[in-house]
Amino acid sequence: MSGRVSLIGAGPGNPELLTLLAQRRLAEADVIVYDRLVNPALLAPYAAEKIDVGKLPHHHKVSQYQINDMLVELAQSGKRVARLKAGDPYVFGRGGEEGQYLKQHHVAFEVVPGLTSAIAGLAAAGIPITHRDYASSFHVITGHRKAEGKELDWANIAHQEGTSCS
């Protein structure tokens, strides 16, 4: 029997901002594999086994390769796995890498989007990310790259019009 993996976005942390589908998948899960930035209050209502795979800058107690393998092994053992990530799993959340790995290993998965903090954080503070008079675009930029020592092109980024989020 094969299980499935749901790559779930937890949103910006407020449990009331979880989507209905995210709540349903968490309630159905046998195992919740979650990141460090997930609000613990989001986990409390669910009875599933919980596995913390959170990373700190320059300290990964569980490597991304181990997480990928764990998701495959859990699903192949018939488990319903909720992979819970802060924000949206496909916005700097490594959800794309995890989905690609699951697909390569023929594991059924779905993506349950979440509100990305790049937009929700500004909205919660009353700051529009776009405004017809001031910002006709927005750019979401990571603060670091996977390749060590390879810097972002900050001069180019500084000259972009619109709102920049990182």
103 annotated active-site: no
Q: Is 80 exposed, middle or buried (0-12, 13-18, 19+ CB in 10 A)?
A: middle
Q: Which residue is catalytic, options 35, 79, 85, 88?
A: 35
- Closest of 84, 74, 95, 50 to residue 2, by C-alpha: 74
30 annotated active-site: no
Q: Which residue is catalytic, options 30, 50, 52, 55?
A: 55
**What are the residue numbers of the active site?**
35, 55
